[in-house]
Amino acid sequence: MEIISRKEALEQGLNRYFTGISCSHGHAYYRYTSNGACVLCTIRDSHRNQQKESYKEKARDRAKRSQKATPRDKKNAIWRKCYSTNTEYRARKAAASARRKQKYREDYAKLSPHEKLEVDILYEEAYLIGYHVDHIIPTSAGGKHEPSNLQIVSPEYNMRKGAKLFNYKERQV
């Protein structure tokens, strides 16, 4: 990252600048020219504000529910058995996953070094707080694997969204 003062960034009309000095949370990363705030801290804070309940609290609820839900356990066991014996289905899933990863790699290769770093850091941040990185517009629906189409979401959100899209597709048939 090129070192540039906030004043210079303002003069050049850049929305971000990097002084080489880490923020109080140790991010040696860009700050917003408008307010001098660390980009990573801002991403994380805005995300945390969106989440009313803490992730840990939800995880505890989930654990409690899953202990009660024996019918679901049975269903999962049937599903696992079916999955392990259905090689054709598994191969199809693996191929779809490989295609998705290939698309991510292709999109990523086209990004600028700055954007690549932003993607890397988003994934790192999500990993650190136990969240997922979600494509706002799914890549299957033409969304790109690029910073502007990525957001950090809770695992629950990701599953809900996945289910919603699935239902949406079902309705379209």
Question: How near is the Cβ of 168 to Zn ion at its closest, in Å?
Answer: 37
Minimum distance from residue 20 beta carbon to Zn ion (Å): 14
**Residues 61-100, interacting with Zn ion (CB under 5 A):** none
Q: Which of residues 33-62 bind Zn ion (CB under 5 A)?
A: 38, 40-41
Characterise 21 by phi-psi region: left (phi > 0), alpha (psi -120 to 50), beta (else): beta
Q: What is the smallest separation between the CB atom of 94 and Zn ion, expressed in angstroms?
A: 38
Tokens of 65: 């529910």
Q: Of 31-39, 88-96, 102-110, 149-157, which segment contacts Zn ion by CB under 5 A? A: 31-39
Measured between alpha carbons, how far is 93 from 135 in angstroms, rounded to an integer? 19
Site for Zn ion contains 121 (CB under 5 A): no
Residue whose C-beta lies closest to Zn ion: 38
Q: Is 23 in the site for Zn ion (CB under 5 A)?
A: yes
Residue 19 CB, nearest approach to Zn ion (Å): 13
Residues 6+ apart with CB under 8 A from 109: none
Q: State the Cα angle at 74 between 70 and 78, rounded to 5°.
A: 165
* 133 residue type, one letter: V
Shortest separation between residue 27's beta carbon and Zn ion, angstroms: 3
Q: Is the dihedral of CA 158, 101, 109, 141 positive or negative?
A: negative
Nearer to Zn ion, 3 or 165 (CB): 3
Cβ-proximal residues to 92 (8 Å cutoff; 6+ apart), any chain: none
Residues that bind Zn ion (CB under 5 A): 23, 25, 27, 38, 40-41
